[in-house]
Structures are given as C-alpha cells and as structure tokens.
Structure 1
Amino acid sequence: MKIFNKQRFQLLKGRPFQKYLTYALGEIILVIIGILIALGISNWNQEKQLENANKDLQKKVLIQLDKDINAVGNFQKVIDSLHQTYLKVLGRDYDSDKVKDESMLSTVLFEVNTLSLDKHLNNLIDNAELDDSEASQQLIDLNSTYKLHLKKCDDIESIIFEKMKNNLAEIEKTQTWYLELITDFTCRNECINYLLKDEGHKARIASLRFLYVSGYGSLIGDFLDDLEMAKTALEAVVSE
C-alpha cells in the first residue's frame, strides 16, 4: 500500500498535474478578470446613467429657473404699483400710470399681495440623485437659496397680513360706515375722507407701505439678484 501511494504521489508531481494546475489557475484568473470587467462595465453604465440623468435635471432646472426669474420680476412690478398706490393715499407724489383707481380701495384695505411661486424647482432637486460634479454643487446651492428666500417671504407676508387685519379691525371698531363698506362694498364720502385724511389710518397705511416696499420689496430684489447670478453660474458649468 505504501508503495502504491508513493507511486501515485510521484505521478501527481509529474508534468500532467502541473499542466492541470496551471490551466486551473489560468481559468480562475480569467473568471476573476471577467467579473472585474463586468463590474467595471456595470459601474460605468450606472455612472453614465447618473450623468445623463443629471444633465437632464440641469436642463429642467434652467427652464424652471427662467420661469421663476420672470415671476419674481413681475412681482417686483406689483410691489412698485403698490408703492405708488400707498403714496397716493398718503398724499405724496406718485406715478398715476401705475395706480388703478377702481381697485385702490380693495388694494389698501383687503388685499395681501404675495409672490406666487411654487416649489417645483425645490422638488426637482430634492428628489434627484446628484453626482459629484460642479453643476450638482450649483444645484445644491440654488436649492438652499430658494428655501432661504421663500422662508423670508413667508415671514414678511404673515406680518403684512396681520397688519392689514389689525387695520380693518380698527375701522370696524370705530367707523359707522364699516357695515356698508363690508356688506355692499360701498365707500361714500365719509368713508373716502377717512381713508384719505384720517391721520391714524394714514399712519397705519404708512406702516404697510414700509413693510411692502422696504421689507418685502427688498427681499424680492435680493431674491431676483440671487436667481440671476445662480442662472449665470449654472449655465457656465453646464455648457462646459
């Protein structure tokens, strides 16, 4: 038995076994290389898909950014028109081309003008898988810019709404013509004289003007500037 085992061992040490071992090792190496190549191709495909998805996202963001810049710019004109209306009520010089007399009463007493801007751009970026490109960093910064400015707008709108509500409450409490105004939306001479001449009312209107022009208007101006700069920066990296 020992002689047989010794002979078998000698055979295993021979050239046929060495060839088999070399072949087996070669097969293993080829399998490993194949796996690595497959993984590399898969990773490349995933990176390419992510890159294409991000390029598509960048195009959508730029389109939405254009719409939002127009919306903010148009609201800036609304603020300017409000400014002129308040100046007229306060007996100051104003641009008559920007004041609508038929809607002045409603504007001063009842309407809270706000920026109509949805969060579509925020949703686009929040729900996207971003790569590590410079363009993606621009999108992250832009997303933060939107959220910061929209929060500031919400805050000033709440203050303006409360101020207008308090002004109307004061009229309700002190003026007999309030019933006719709020029921029939009719403002006769006594009502008009109060709105244009009463010093207490004019002081409250002056506060509203300050909130709209110096407060809201400044925020809108800063928002517009930041959006335009963000658009320029994003276009620069997207076009590279």
Structure 2
Amino acid sequence: MIKFFRKIRQNLLMENKTGRYFKYAIGEIILVVIGILIALSINNWNEESKDRDKLLNIYSLIYNDIEDDIKELQKNVEFYNEKKSVFEKVVHDSITPDLLDQGLSSLISNSPRTLLNKKGVSQLRQLQENDTLTFYLNDIYEFMDTRLLPLEISISNEVIDHKKYVRDNHEWYPEWINNTITRDVGSKELHDYFLTNPTYRNRVVFVYDQVYNSYVRSLNALIKGLTTFKEEIGEILKKEND
C-alpha cells in the first residue's frame, strides 16, 4: 500500500502536476491521520473493555463478600437477640432465680467478633473508581472498620475483664467457667453472685448499653445497607450477562 501511494506521488511530480500533487499529499495525510485515530479508538476500546471486565470481576467478588458479611452480621444480631429478655430483666432489677435457667450467669461470658471479607473492596479501591456505588461501598466498609469493630473490641474487653475479676476474687471460678449454670447446677455462693451482687449487675447494665443502644442498632443498619448494595451489584452483573 505504501509503495502504491509513493508511485502515485512520483507520477504526479514527473508529469509536473504540482497542484494535484499537493492536493493528493494533503489527502494522504488526512487518510493517515484517520487511520491513526481509528487505531487509537480501537486500542482505547480494548483497554476500556479490559477495565470493564476487571471491574465486573471485582463486583462479582464483592457480591460474594457482602453475602458472607451479611450472614455473619445477622448471626451476631441473633446472638444478642436471644439474650435480650434476660439482659432487660437485670437492667430493670427484676432478677429472679429462674433466670439462672435462662443464661443469667453467661450474659457477659462471651461475645462475637466479626471478620470482614474485604478483598473485593480493597481491589475496587485500587482501581480508584469515582462512581457513586464505589464511594458508598468504601464508606460502609470504612464505617465497619473504624466504628463497628472497635465497639466489638470494647464489649469483648469488658467480657474478659469480668472473667479476670471472677478468677481473682471468687473460689468458684473453675465451677462457673466449666459448667452451664442453672438453678440445679452451681454452688450457693456462685448463685448468690449472679442473683444479688451489684458488681455483676453493673457490668451487665454497662454491656447492655453498648450492645443494644449502639452495637445491635449499627448491625441492623449495616445489614440493610449491605443488602441494598448486594442487590444493586447483582443487577449490574445480571445486565452484563444477559
């Protein structure tokens, strides 16, 4: 093709047709420019297609991450919902022996900790996308990192402190730590601590405030938000696959 154009130029010069030569030269330049622009457009399209495929793969990963995170957060909500009625009776100073059969002695003996699945979100951050979905996904996971997880640590620390307190101050600690305490299981001293000791009640009230006035409310809001993001990402993936 290049030889073809060169031959035309040579013929025009040999025939002393300078005006036609310059017109032809300009036309040739325009064709070259158009060819370059087309090549650049194809290259850009290929790059955009690769970026789009990469983004969709990350969305697919985030979809699965969110699904797993929602399940874990829901388990944490259920964990505390099962204890709520006993917590409230302690808070309202309505402690009766039958609460021993409902888990009174284990209200602050353990607490769940969340392990977030952030691989997809981390990859999305590296792409530095500026769309609304990316912004809010980053925002909700940053909230969980900076607010939710520290709150879990605070509750967990209170649980550990209580265990240490019992260990250092009560001889029945091994009995409590190794058994499920009910009205029929546990010594009188052990029962009396959970039924009448103000230190235990104060600790329960403190944990209640953290759990039900902050933590569980945050969990429910996060589950709702993550569910919305999951549905939105699911719609994006569905459209691409249709």
Kept in 1: contact 2:172–2:190 (CA 8 A): yes
Identical columns (%): 20
Q: Unaligned 5+ residue runs, structure 1?
A: 1-11
Match of 1:154 among 149, 155, 175: 149
What residue in structure 2 maps to residue 69 of structure 1?
70
Q: Give the corresponding residue for 1:221.
A: 220
CA distance in 2, matches of 1:64, 1:230: 11
Once the two structures are superposed, the pairs formed by residues 61-100 of structure 1 within 5 Å of their partners are 61-87=62-88, 92=94
Residue of structure 1 in register with 2:6 after alignment = none
The alpha carbon displacement at 1:38 in A equals: 0.5
Structure 1 residue 205: Cα displacement: 1.4
Question: Do structure 1's residue 49 and structure 2's residue 50 form an aligned pair?
Answer: yes
Q: State the AA in 2 paired with 1:223.
A: L
- Contact 2:66-2:117 within 8 A present in 1 as well: no
Q: State the distance in 2 between where 1:163 and 1:211 align.
A: 10
SS in 2 for 1:77: helix
Give the structure 2 partner of residue 145 of structure 1. 140
Shift of the alpha carbon at 1:111? 1.7
Listed one character per residue, the Cα deviations across residues 176-231 of structure 1 (whole Å, up to 9, x for unaligned) are: 434x458x736533122212221221121121122222221111111112222333
80 and 157 in structure 1: CA distance in 2 versus 1, 3 angstrom threshold: same
| Structure 2 stretches lacking a partner, 5+ long | 1-12, 180-185
Specify the alignment match of 2:34 in structure 1: 33
Distance 2:234 2:38 in 1: 36
Assess if the C-alpha contact under 8 Å between 1:87 and 1:93 holds in 2. Answer: no
How far did residue 172 of structure 1 move?
4.1
- Does the C-alpha gap of structure 1 residues 174 and 100 become closer, same or farther in structure 2, counting only changes over 3 Å? closer
Per the alignment, residue 60 of structure 2 pairs with: 59
RMSD: 3.6
Cα distance in 2 for residues equivalent to 1:194 and 1:154:
31
Moved more, 79-88 or 65-74: 79-88
Larger Rg: 1
Q: Encode CA deviations 1:31-50: one digit per residue, 9 max, x unaligned.
A: 22211111111111112222
Contact 1:89 1:196 survives alignment (8 Å) = no
The AA in structure 2 aligned to 1:212 is V
Pairing of 1:165-184 with structure 2 (within 5 A):
165-178=160-173, 180-181=174-175
Find out whether 1:196 has 2:195 as its counterpart: yes
Distance 1:123 1:160 in 2: 27
Q: How far apart are the structure 2 equivalents of 1:103 and 1:213?
A: 17
Instruction: Determine if contact 1:112/1:161 at 8 Å carries over to the other structure.
Output: yes
Given residue 35 of structure 1, which amino acid in structure 2 is its aligned partner? I
TM-score (norm 1): 0.72
The 1:237–1:92 alpha-carbon spacing in structure 2 relative to 1, beyond 3 Å, is: farther
- Matched length: 219
1:98-137 correspondence runs (5 A)? 105=105, 107-128=106-127, 130=129, 136-137=131-132
Within 2, Cα distance between the matches of 1:185 and 1:60?
41
- Distance change in 2, residues 1:219/1:204 (3 Å): same
Q: Larger deviation: 149-158 or 81-90?
A: 81-90
Query: Which sits farther off after the overlay, 200-209 or 52-61?
Result: 52-61
The DSSP-based 3-state class of the residue aligned with 1:15 is coil
Tell me, yes or no, if the aligned pair for 1:65 and 1:121 is still in contact at 8 Å.
no
The letter for the 2-side match of 1:83 is K
User: Which of 178, 198, 205 is residue 185 of structure 1 equivalent to?
Assistant: 178
Contact 1:69 1:228 in 2 (8 A): yes
Closer, same or farther: CA 168–68 of 1 in aligned 2, 3 Å: closer
Contact 1:125 1:139 in 2 (8 A): yes
TM-score (norm 2): 0.71
Once the two structures are superposed, residues 96-130 of structure 1 have per-residue CA deviations (whole angstroms, 9 ceiling, x without a partner) of: 9xx9969764x435423223433234224223464
